[in-house]
Amino acid sequence: MLRILALFSVVLLQAACTNLHIDQPGTRAPEPNRTAFEISRDVVVSSAEWPAQLLADVYRPLGAGPDSPRPGVLLIHGGAWKRGSRDQVDHLAEQLAERGYVVVNTTYRLVPDAIWPAQLRDVQQAARWMHRQGLAQGIDPERIGSFGYSAGAHLASLVAAVADDPTWGASDTRMRAVVAGGNPADLSLYEGGSLVPAFLGGEQDEIPDTYAAASPITHVSPTHPPVFIYQATLDAYVPFEQALRYKAALDRAGVTNELFIIRGHGHISAFFADDEAIEAAITFLDRHLR
C-alpha cells in the first residue's frame, strides 16, 4: 500500500509534466532494425477438436523461417471481452513486424456467446500454436511475448501469469515478456455495472472465487515474466489505480516491470494517440526477447 501511495504522489507532484516512465532501465536496448514483412490472413491456430475455429493473421518479417527464427508476439485485441476484432490492432502488428517480430494477431470468442474462461482458453490455443507449430512460421519458441490493450491486456497478462499454474496454465503457453496497456488486472475492483458480470457469469458476491481466478494480479509470482505496463491517467474505464496495484504486486514478487504513465488521455484516446508509449513498449520487448 505504501508503494501505491508513493506512486500516486509522484504522479500528482509531476502533474504539469509530460509522460512519465517509472523503472525504465538505464541499459540501452538493442538498436532497432527495420524490415519488410508479409501477412498470412486467417491462419487457423486452434486444434481440430476446439469448439470454435480460431483464426489469426500472421505478420512475418521477410527472411524469417525454420532456419532463421525470430522472436514472436501474440497480439490480442480489446473490446471489453464482448466486441472488437484483429483490425483494431493491425497497426500494432505492422509496427512489431517492421521491427523483426513474427506477430500472431489472434481472435477469441466473445461475450455473450462465450463467457470466462473461454477467452483465456482461446488465447492459450494461439499461444500453444506458436510454441508447437510456430517454428514453421519462423517463430523462435523460446522467445515469445504477449501484447494487448484493455481486455486484450487482461488476456495477455493472464496467459503469461498462469502458465506455471497446473489448474489454469501449461508450459507450452509460456511467455517471456508481457506488454499490457489499460489493463483491468484486478477484477475485484469492479463493483456494480454489467460488463464484468457478463464476462464472468455473475456478480462478485455470488462468485468471488471466479473474480479472483480471472484477475491477473491474483496469479503474480516470482516466476512471472517481465511486464511493461502503460496506463492513461484520465482512464474512466480502467482506473489508474489498476496499474498501480498491478505494479505493486509485481514489485512485491520481485518481477521486473516498467510503468509508462500517459498524461492527458482517457482509455480510448491513449490507445490511438500515444506513439511514445508504443515505442517504449517495443523497446521493452527488444530488451527481453532479443
Give the pLDDT confidence score for residue 8 in this predicted structure: 52
Number of domains in the chain: 1
Listed in order, strand segments (DSSP E) in 217-267 are 227-232, 257-262
CATH number for the domain that contains residue 39? 3.40.50.1820
Question: How far from each other are the two terminal CA atoms of the chain, in whole angstroms?
Answer: 34
In this structure, what DSSP letter does residue 214 have?
T
In this structure, what DSSP letter does residue 285 have?
H
DSSP-assigned letters across all residues of 98-143: HTT-EEEEE----TTTS-TTHHHHHHHHHHHHHHHTGGGGTEEEEE
Total residue count of the chain as it appears in this document = 290
Give the pLDDT confidence score for residue 274 in this predicted structure: 72
| 19, 258 Cβ separation under 8 angstroms | no
Q: Whole-model pTM?
A: 0.93
Write down the H helix ranges in the chain: 2-13, 90-98, 118-132, 151-161, 195-200, 208-213, 240-252, 267-273, 275-289
| 18, 79 Cβ separation under 8 angstroms | no
57 is in which domain, residue-wise? 2-289
Q: Report residues of the chain scoring pLDDT below 70.
A: 1-17
Give the pLDDT confidence score for residue 13 in this predicted structure: 42
Q: How many CB atoms lie within 10 A of CB 187?
A: 22
Residue 84: left (phi > 0), alpha (psi -120 to 50), or beta? Answer: left
Residue 265: left (phi > 0), alpha (psi -120 to 50), or beta? Answer: beta
In this structure, what DSSP letter does residue 13 have?
H
